[in-house]
Structure 1
Amino acid sequence: LEGQLSSMRLEDVDTDLLQKLLGEDVLRDFNGIVQMESLLEEGGYVVNHGDHFELTPRGVRRIGQLALRDIYRQLKRDAVGHHPLRHRGSQEILTEESRPYVQGDALHLNMIQTLKNALMNEGGVPLRLRPSDFAVYESEHATRAATVLLLDMSWSMSWEGRFAAAKKVALAMESLVRSLHPRDYFGIVGFFTRAVELKPKDLPEATWNMGDPFTNLQDGLHLAAELLERRPSQNQQMIVITDGQPTAYCRQGRLYCEWPLSFGGISQRAAEETLREAERVTRKGITINTFMLDDSPVLRGFVDEMTRINRGRAFYTRPDHLGEYLLIDYVSRTRKKI
């Protein structure tokens, strides 16, 4: 029974034995998992290959939607875009809802509701309008964001299917941002020993770089900040997809590379310079959102520190569990697992 559960051979599990050994609550949870598995397959989100499940393109897009929902959840007011906000006011985007006119409102008059109010209050001919009869459409603020996606293309990303997982998320996000938020600026930076700007057409063919095997996240942050400076916005975001192992940095125009002292560790000077760059990015008002694809405590500690400095967000996942991520949100200070 333990082997069947650990290997997810759910169809072989003896439910009577499971209930007898572990109780009614565990059986209920197990049935929920089986039902969820079926729903995901029926919905076209995963394909069952017998010994493992694989995300379909639709499943990858859904993960991108969940991630984008959190990244854009708390946006400031800016130029008109397609990201909804909690604030309401006198913007150009109108809803079907209306309310009584208040002095200072933009006069987006709901004529039908205004006339109805006048008839209910006065009636008769000629119809007399009073200030209290006027109804205006509700307006919603929308905002425009400028986002740069940073894709780790270093040698360490070739391990354990990390780059394939990173590329899936990157493709989903690139597609979603461009289809749902066409007014947004969306740039892409690939970083290995140095950082380079990638065009959208380059992303499907992108691969990890064996010729330049180091990880220069500092240079990636620097280049991404330069791209965002050319696209002024109150809502500037970076999405970093990495295994969190910086091994290169630039100082005074010179490139420095160093291997970590231990497997799964970090290079101390590279980490320090990267955190300094994160501080500079933070002072510019840019939020860093990090997808972390390694479970090493040392590497996660580095990402935690970078996220703390920036007060950004960290999404933790393993390459083989792309559909699960732990969101540490330093903006709204919530913690949840999706």
Structure 2
Amino acid sequence: MSYRYGEYRDGPDPLAPPYDVRSALDQMGDAVLSGANPDHALRDLLKQGLPGAGDRRGLDDLLREVRRRRRELRERGRLDGTLERARALLDKAIGQERAELFPDPSDDARLREAELEGLSSDTASAIQELSDYQWRSAAARRTFEELRDLLRREVLDSQFRGMREALANPDPAAMERVRQMMSELNDMLDRDARGEHTQADFDDFMSRYGDMFPEAPRNLEELVDILARRAAATQRLMASLTPRQREELNQLINQTLDQAGLGEQMRRLGDSLYARRPDLAWNTPERLTGEDPMGMGDAVTALEELADLTQLEAALRQDYPGARLDDVDEAAIRRALGRSAVDDLEALKQIERELEQQGYLRRQRGKLELTPKAVRRLGETALRRVFASLDSGRRGDHDQVDAGAAGELTGSSRPWRFGDEQPIDVVRTVVNGVRRGGTAGRVTLSVDDFEVAETERRTAAAMCLLVDLSYSMALRGTWAAAKQTAMALQALVSSKFPQDSVQIIGFSNYARILQPDELAGLEWDMVQGTNLHHALLIAGRHLDRHPDFEPVVLVVTDGEPTAHLRRNGSAAFEWPPTSETLELTLAEVDKMTRRRATLNVFMLAEDERLKEFVNEVARRNGGRVFSSSADRLGEYVVSDFLRTRRSR
């Protein structure tokens, strides 16, 4: 046996390495660190596509392709082509008959001429009136039969795609087979409604009539979906015509079906399909702007594709609550845009699934959130960005020279206890194992054998970062920098100074403690008020819980205090700020001073009233004031924190 190998063509390379979801997370991180929430960040990632993953198209590329295809379909032609063609053939047949009658001087010829003259102006009515007419002209008889064949093919093709070719040559046996198929199809739908249908019934039906369904459905549900979408498109065609055209075409359809012996079966099928798929747009008009007339079957196909594209566009936009790529119908993508678009969509779905399965994303009550694992990674990214802007000589300059909370070794050891971060004393641990019963060449350790090296106690800090969440932060474009700074500082303390206790507090009209895992999804508050008074109250409670820690308070804001907390717990807002707001806020500053807490303020606006306030804070507390641009805020805050740690 011999084998030939070539390029794999049936979709993406199955041996290609999987896309690195960490790269996808980093792409999302750029948006998150710029102020976006995780939902918007993931949506932007999926819209842009995945560079480095075979350059797969994103949702925006697929949307452009869908919209281009819709324009092409709308410009393809007019919907009244069947009516126009039927009228032309009818006029031709009447003309041929009159030409045959004109030379004949008999009364019969004059009576026939009068009958033709008295035909209804309505095409459907005229065809009905001529259904029993005895044609004198053989050419006229052939033209009229051509008209009836046209209507039969177009009407059936509008209900069953591909039926037009099957009935290209009129054959009574072929029509009888269509009638038998329709009857068995309706019976099968009735049995399914009673719960009596089986897959074997469907397989037997397709073995006999599968050539009439080029879509090759695999089960009854797929067949129902195919027929229902086409039936709905036929109804949209009727709704898109003028009232006169609609009435005329409806008469032609009913006449054609009744003459073919299919009228009752088709009405029965239509009722079943509508009952099963009422969600389809059955009577929504659609406007086509082309000039060329389209046959009924082609027009229904165009409207069916337009309906698919409309649903695809809505799903690909992903702009509704709880939107997921699994909502996009893969079969509709394949029909509309081809196999390559299915592969692109599957690559995007895989990224969304992998981000959840690998523990970076989770959904809570329909809302997308970053997990603590993802937040830690983004915090490290934010920290790297900050350190990249610091002078190389100062990068990583702090007094933490070993891991954990340990200081200098004292030379003694003690038994290990759960939660200890001191280094393991390996020699004494192994000796304990040997003494407990180790044999030559083999030492088995138990938990009781472990000892840790005792260290000198190192000074720890209780640090509070107070971040302004008020609406003005978004208006001035400083919110993203404040968010990134909070994440960077959280990452710095948790990784380099684990003995420190850090609390991040956000404040607008009220203040609240921000948990590390909610920083990435944090957004500014659409409210008025800068309640620094409340934020300092919360920070004071944190410092009081750690009396032996060095207290540090950092404040990031773009405005003076405009709100304070009343005795009943409600917030009072006033602008310009009242003297009560300023007095209560400065009273909390004085309490910080008595706690020996350093209070440094980072201003993000050049406002004279703000400068006056922060200068008073610095005078009372002895802390420093920084006037920072948004792009250097992280550098200022982290540098100040490291300077404070070095000084101790």
TM-score normalised by length of structure 1: 0.54
Equivalent residue of 2:575, what SS? coil
Distance in structure 2 (CA, Å) of the matches to 1:225 and 1:297? 28
Report the counterpart of residue 552 of structure 2 in structure 1: 237
Deviation string, structure 1 residues 78-129 (Cα, Å, up to 9, x no partner) = xx957xxxxxxxx7358xxxxxxxxxxxxxxxxxxxxxxxxxxxxxxxxxxx
Q: Structure 2: how far apart are the matches of 1:254 and 1:236? A: 26
Match of 2:601 among 277, 286, 290: 290
1:30-179 aligned at under 5 Å gives the runs: 57=382, 58-62=384-388, 81=405, 92-93=408-409, 142-179=458-495
2-structure distance, mates of 1:62, 1:277:
36
Is residue 306 from structure 1 mapped to residue 639 from structure 2 by the alignment? no
Distance of 1:199 and 1:208 partners within structure 2: 15
TM-aligned CA deviation for residue 173 of structure 1: 1.0
**Structure label with greater radius of gyration:** 2
Q: Is the CA contact (8 Å cut-off) linking 2:604 and 2:628 kept in structure 1? A: yes
Pair 1:63–1:316, CA change in 2 (3 A): farther
Structure 1 residues without counterparts, runs of 5 or longer: 1-55, 74-79, 83-90, 95-138, 333-338
Pick from 517, 524, 548 the counterpart of residue 208 of structure 1. Answer: 524
**2:551, 2:390 → 1: CA distance?**
18
Change (3 A) 1:182 1:323: closer
1:277–1:64 distance in 2 versus 1, CA, 3 Å: farther
CA RMSD of aligned residues (A): 3.6
SS at match of 2:478: helix
Bigger mean CA deviation after superposition, 227-236 or 195-204: 227-236
Partners of 2:389 and 2:611 lie apart in 1 by 21
Equivalent pairs, count: 211
Decide whether the 8 Å contact of 2:482 with 2:633 is kept in 1.
no
Q: Please tell me whether the aligned partners of residues 148 and 237 of structure 1 are also in contact (alpha carbons under 8 angstroms).
A: yes
The residue that corresponds to 2:347 in the other structure is none
Q: 3-state SS of the aligned residue for 1:288?
A: strand
Q: Distance in 1 between matches of 2:637 and 2:627?
A: 5
Q: What residue identity is the alignment partner of 2:540? A: A
Residue 249 of structure 1: aligned partner: 564
Deviations 1:312-336 (Å, cap 9, x if unpaired)? 1222212245477599x9xx9xxxx
Q: Which has the larger displacement, 229-238 or 140-149?
A: 140-149
Whole-angstrom distance in 1 between the partners of 2:629 and 2:574: 23
Note closer, same or farther for the CA distance 1:170–1:61 as it changes in structure 2 (3 Å cut).
Answer: farther
Amino acid at match of 1:165: A
Q: Distance in 2 between matches of 1:313 and 1:269?
A: 24
Structure 1 residue 272 displacement after superposition: 2.3
SS in 2 for 1:204: coil
1:274 is aligned, of 570, 578, 585, to 585
Aligned twin of 1:16: none
| Residue in structure 2 matching 1:184, options 500, 506, 513 | 500
**Cα distance, 1:140 vs structure 2:** 8.5
Q: Give the whole-Å Cα distance in 1 for the aligned partners of 2:390 and 2:573.
A: 34
Partner of 1:223: 538
**SS of 2:600's equivalent?**
strand
User: Could you report, residue by residue, the CA deviation over 1:268-319 in whole angstroms, capped at 9, with x for unpaired residues?
Assistant: 4322221111111211222212221111122122111112211112222122
Once the two structures are superposed, residues 168-196 of structure 1 have per-residue CA deviations (whole angstroms, 9 ceiling, x without a partner) of: 21111111111110111111111111111
Between the aligned partners of 1:60 and 1:321, the Cα distance in structure 2 is 8
Instruction: Give the Å deviation of 1:60.
Output: 2.2
Q: Deviations over 1:65-87 (max 9, x none)?
A: 99x99xx89xxxxxx957xxxxx
**Does the 8 Å contact 1:155/1:209 carry over to 2?**
yes
Query: What's the TM-score once normalised by structure 2's chain length?
Result: 0.29
Residues 484 and 634, structure 2, Cα contact 8 Å, conserved in 1: no
Q: How far apart, in 2, do the equivalents of 1:166 and 1:158 lie?
A: 10
**Structure having the larger proportion of residues in helix:** 2
How far apart in 1 are the matches of 2:518 and 2:525? 14
Q: Alignment partner of 2:564: what SS?
A: strand
* Contact 2:470 2:507 (C-alpha < 8 Å) held by counterparts: yes
Residue 62 of structure 1 deviates from its aligned partner by 4.6
What is the identity, as a one-letter code, of the residue corresponding to 1:257? Answer: A
CA contact (8 A) 1:218 1:273 kept: yes
Post-superposition offset of 1:260: 2.4
Q: Deviations over 1:130-152 (max 9, x none)?
A: xxxxxxxxx98842111111111
Report the Cα distance in structure 2 between the residues aligned to 1:197 and 1:65, rounded to whole angstroms.
32
Q: Distance in 2 between the 1:308 and 1:253 partners?
A: 31
Quote the Cα distance in structure 1 between the aligned partners of 2:635 and 2:460. Answer: 28
Distance in 2 of aligned mates of 1:221 and 1:167: 19
Q: Distance in 1 between matches of 2:618 and 2:523?
A: 26
Unaligned runs of 5+ in 2: 1-380, 411-454, 644-648
